[in-house]
Amino acid sequence: MTKKKKQTPLMRQYFEIKEKHPGTILLFRVGDFYETFADDAVLISKELGITLTKRNNGGDQTPLAGFPYHALDTYLPKLVKRGFRVAICEQTEDPETAKKAGKKIVDREVTEITTPGITLSEKLLQHKRNNYIVSLHWAGGTAGISFSDISTGEFALSQVSRPELDSLLQSLQPSEILVQKKYKNKLSDELNAYNTTFIDDWVYEGDYGYKLLTDHFKTHSLKGYGVEELEVAHTAAGSLLHYMQETQKSSLGHLRRLYAYENADYMSLDGSTKRNLELTASMQEGGTDGTLVSILDETSTAMGGRLLRKWIMRPLKQIRPIEERLDAVDVLVKDHVRREDLREELQQIGDLERLISRISVGRTNARDLKQLQLSLEQVPKVKMQIGNSDNQLLSSIYERLKMMVDLQERISHALVEEPPASIRDGGIFADGFHEDLDELREIARNGKTYIAKIKDKLAKEAGIPSLKIGYNKVFGYYIEVTNTHKDKVPDHFIRKQTLVNSERYITPELKEVEEKVLSAEDRSKTLEGELFEELRIYVSEFTDDIQQIAHALAELDCIQSFAEVAFRNSYVRPDVNEEDVIDISRGRHPVVEKTLPPGEPFIPNNIHLDNSEYQILMITGPNMAGKSIILRQTGLLVLMAQIGCFVPADKATIGLVDKIFTRVGASDNLAAGESTFLVEMNEAANILNNATPKSLILLDEVGRGTSTFDGLSIAWSLSEYLHNKPEVAAKTLFATHYHELNELESRYERIKNFNVQVKEHDGKVIFLRKLVRGGADHSYGIQVANMAGLPDVVINRAKEILANLESHSLDVSHDGNGAIGKTAKKKDAARKTVQQVESQGQLPQMTLFGSQMDPNVETLINKLEASDPERMTPIEALLLLSELKRLAK
C-alpha cells in the first residue's frame, strides 16, 4: 500500500499501524466505530455489504467503510470464516486525557489479531469441534509438525514422513496452516487446499524456536515433556508459539503442556479412507448427516464431543487401552440408571476447556467465571455416579476429578448470581464482598441521603442545628452557617464566601465526600474492573487442575456416549485380539440401518477374513445389490471396535488392524490435471505401497475407469499381487463387476468368491442384500438402468445389443429405429482359434491365411509358438487373441 504524501494525523497513524501488520484487515477504532480505509475499506464493503464512502486525507479522498463498535461480534466472524486475518486496533488512551495533554489524536494499538486458526470467540468456534492451527517445517524427508487449539490449551508436536503428514492433517482438519515464506508458490496441491499463512524465514532459523519454547514453559530444556529429540518439530512448534504470541498480544498461560503426538500409536487412515467411510463429513453434502460421528455422538458436553471426534479419527492399535475403554462402556451399558443419571449431571457442565482458556488469556467476563463455578459444583455429583468402580478407566477418571471447593466458594462469594455480560457495566460483585465497593455503591445509589447524613453529623458535632449543606458549580458542596451561630464554627472549617446573613465554608472531609458522591459510579465501575482482574488472575492459577478435570470429564462423556448408543441400537461388545482374523456375525452398517425408510429392515451379513485361508473375498453382484455397503460396514465395524466402542452385530471378533485402505467410487481432480482413472490408480498405488498383512483393504471397482481389457488386466494383476506378496498380503474385500475375476479362486488358495444375492422376476431384479458363497455371472445393469427411469427405447435397444454381444455378434448397421441388420462380425472363429492354439500349440498357416507366408503371418506364428496355453491365464489369452486379430487384418 502506497502512503499519501499529505496526510491528516489520524490517517498517518492508521497507515503506520497498518504497515506493522501486513496481510491483515485493520479494524481501526475511532470513537464508537471501527473504521477501515483504502484497500481494506473496498474489501470489507464488498465482503460485508457495507456502504463505501470517502474521507478527506490531506486533500485526497480515501475510501472509507466502517461499522459501530458494538457490531464487532456480528462482522468479525464473517470476515474470519472467509479466511481473512483481522487486526483489532483499540484506543488505548482516554480522549479527555489526550485533549488535556494537548494531543491531536489518542494513542492506539493492535490488541488482538483474529485468524481462522486462532480465535477464542464463541461465535467463531464450533462447540464440538477443535479449531486447530498447524505449523510445518521440513528437513530433508522429515516433516516437523506442531498443532494447537488455543481455545482449549492443547499444544503438540511430531515428526513424520510425507505420507504420514497427509494422514495427520486429514485427522486434524486444521483451520489454518503456517509455512515458511520460502515455500510460497512451492506447496503441493494437498497443502494449497488449506488456508495458508506464510511466516518470515528468520522465525525458522537457529535455535529461536527452541528458546521461545523453553522461555514460555520456564524450563532449561524440553526433556521433561519427552520431546527433546524432535529437533525438526522444535522449529515448527517455535514458529507456532511465535505466531500465537504475535496475534494474541497477551499471556498464553493456559498452554501448560507440550506433548509428543505419536502417530505410531494410532491406526493409519489416509484421506480417501476418511472420506469414503464418511467418518465426520458426508461425501455428498460435506455436513455431518449420514456420518459415523452423527450416530456415535450422544455426548452431553462440548468437551466430550470434541474428544469423540479425535477418537474416531485416531483408532487405537494397542489392545490394553482398547480393552480399558470397552470394559468401561460395558459397565455403563449394563447399569441403565447410573448411565441416565450420569448423562443428566454432565449436561449441567459448561465447556471447562474453553472457559479456563478465555480466563487465562484475559478474554473473559464475569459470566464465564460464574459458569466455571457452577460447572465445578457438578463434579462431586458426577463422582458420586462413578463411585469407586473396579473398572480401571472409570477409577482413573474418578481420581482425576478434583474437588475445587475453595475456588468455587471464592467465585460464589464474589459474584452476583446473574452477572452482566460486560465488565464495563458494573454490578458484577455481590454486596458485602468488598467494603470500599459497598460504600461507593451506597453513595452512588443514595447520594442525597449520604450528604444528609454528613450534615446531621456536622451539625451535631458543632452544636449548630440550622447548619446546611448546599451545592453550586463554583464551590461544589459547601457548609452554610447563619451569622447567629458564626461563633460556633469549628477551627477546621475553611471560609469560602461571605453573604449578608451567613457564611459558607468547606472542610477537607466535605471535599472528600464530594469527590465520592460526584464520582461514585465511575469509581465503583473502575474498582470492579480491578477486583475482577484480581479474581481472574486467582482463578487462572488453577488452570492445570481445571484442564485435568475437563479431560477426565470428556473421557467419561465419550464412554457414556458409546454406552448409550450401544444400548439404544443393540450393539455388542467386540472381542479385540492380536489374531489375524476378522469374523463378524450378522454385521450391520451403523449409519444405513438408521436411515432406512420406516418398516424396511436392514439385512445383516456375515464376514470372515483371515490371513491363512480367506484373505481376499472377491464379491460380485449387480449395482445396488449392496456390495459397497458390505465393504464400508466392515471397515466401520473394525474402526468402531478399535476406538473402544460396541458394534452393530450379533458377534464380532476383530484381529487388530494397523491400517484401513479404501478405493471406492469414481472421482477426479481436474484442477490438478488428474482424470478419474488417474485418481483411481493413485489410490491403488498408495494401497499397494503401504499395506501390510495387518491391514484391511476395501476395494470397490478397480479398473472401471479405463477400457475393459485394461481395467480387467489391472484388477487381475492387483489381486495376484495382494495374494502373492507376503509383505502386502492384507485382508481384502474386493467388490467388482468383472465376473472374469471369479477365475482367480481356482488358481489361488486364499481368494474366495462371494456374491450378493438377487432374484429376477418378470424382467425385474429383486435385491436380497445377502452375501453368499460363490461368484455371480450377471450384472443386471439394464434392469438397474430401467429402475433409474431411462426411456423405454433406450432400455429396449440396450437389451438387443446385449443379446447380440452375448451371442458374439454385434450389429453395426443399426438403422436408428431399433432394427437389427444382417451385417455382423462373427467372433466364433476367434474363439476357435484360441481353442486350437491351446490344443495344438500352433495354427496350420494354410487354414487361416492361405498359402502365402507374409511377415505378419510369420510374426503371428512366432507369437503362437512362444505361448504356453497350459499356463496361460484368461487375461493373457484375451490379450493374445487381440494381437491375433490385429495381425490377421
Residues annotated as binding site? 621-628
Please, are residues 323 and 373 in contact by the beta-carbon 8 Å criterion? no
Mapped onto helix, strand or coil, the DSSP state of residue 91 is strand
Please, are residues 159 and 233 in contact by the beta-carbon 8 Å criterion? yes
Q: Helix, strand, coil % (nearest 5) of the chain?
A: 50, 20, 35
Residue 55 CB contacts under 8 Å (≥ 6 apart), including other chains: 11, 37, 61, 62, 64
- Integer Cα distance of 45 and 406 in angstroms: 51
Cell of 514: 464530594
- Integer Cα distance of 313 and 258 in angstroms: 21
- Dihedral over alpha carbons 185, 191, 196, 202 (to 10 degrees): -60
Mapped onto helix, strand or coil, the DSSP state of residue 626 is coil
- Integer Cα distance of 853 and 855 in angstroms: 7
C-alpha dist (Å) from residue 281 to 173, 333, 566, 635 = 11, 27, 22, 16
Asked whether the CA dihedral 7, 11, 13, 14 is positive or negative, the reply is: negative
C-alpha dist (Å) from residue 496 to 474, 478, 488, 502, 505 = 11, 8, 17, 11, 5
- Integer Cα distance of 560 and 575 in angstroms: 20
Q: How far is CA 165 from the centre of its chain?
A: 16
Mapped onto helix, strand or coil, the DSSP state of residue 611 is coil
- Integer Cα distance of 307 and 554 in angstroms: 6
C-alpha dist (Å) from residue 107 to 371, 418, 648 = 35, 35, 64
Nearest to residue 267, comparing CAs of 755, 760, 692? 692
Mapped onto helix, strand or coil, the DSSP state of residue 59 is coil
- Dihedral over alpha carbons 868, 872, 878, 884 (to 10 degrees): 0
- Integer Cα distance of 803 and 124 in angstroms: 61
Across-strand partners of 696? 660, 731
Cell of 274: 476418511
Mapped onto helix, strand or coil, the DSSP state of residue 57 is strand
**For cell 454381444, what's the residue?**
805
Nearest to residue 377, comparing CAs of 343, 417, 405, 342? 405
- Integer Cα distance of 282 and 298 in angstroms: 19
Burial 687-700 (b: 16+ CB within 10 A, else e): beebbeebbbbbbb
Q: How much is the CA Rg of the chain, to the nearest whole Å?
A: 39
Alpha helices for 541-656 (secondary structure H):
543-569, 592-595, 627-642
Please, are residues 550 and 359 in contact by the beta-carbon 8 Å criterion? no
- Burial of residue 142, with CB atoms counted within 10 A of its CB: 0-12 exposed, 13-18 middle, 19 or more buried: middle
Residue 597 CB contacts under 8 Å (≥ 6 apart), including other chains: none
Across-strand partners of 33? 30, 68
169: how many CB neighbours lie within 10 A of its CB? 23
**For cell 457495566, what's the residue?**
425
Alpha helices for 298-401 (secondary structure H):
302-313, 319-334, 336-346, 352-361, 366-376, 379-386, 392-400
Annotated binding-site residues for ATP read 621-628
Tell me the longest C-alpha to C-alpha distance in the chain: 156
